[in-house]
Structure 1
Amino acid sequence: MPGLLAEAEELDAFWVELCESLGVQLNLRKRQRCSQSLEYAGFVFDTWRGMMLVQAGRLVKLLGSIRLLREAQTLSTRQLDEVKGRALHYSACVRHLRILVTELGRLVGTVDESDYDAPRLVTGELRELSCEMEAVVERYGEAGVPLWPPVASSAYAAFMRGDLGPEYYALSWDASTHGWAALLRGWNSAPPGSVLREELLVGTWPLGEDVSEQQYRECLAAPLALEAAARVLDLGGQVRSPAE
Structure 2
Amino acid sequence: MIFLVILEYLIGNIVSIFSSKFDNIFGALTLLYPRMISCNMSVTYFGTTLLLEDRFKVVNNFLFGEKLKSRNFTKYPTDSNFCDKMKLLVNIHKQLIRICKTINSIFSLFFLLWVTVNFLCLVSDLYIVAYFLSTGQFLKYWQGMLRALKNVCIYSIEMFYISRRSSLLCFQGNRTKAILVGFKFDLSNEEERNTIVTLSLELRQFNLQISACRLFAIDNALLFSMCGAAFSYLFIMIQMDKDLNRSFRNVTNSTLD
- Select the structure that is richer in helix: 2
Q: TM-score range by the shorter chain?
A: under 0.3
- Greater C-alpha radius of gyration: 2
**TM-score, normalising length from structure 1?**
0.22
- Select the structure that is richer in strand: 1
**TM-score, normalising length from structure 2?**
0.21
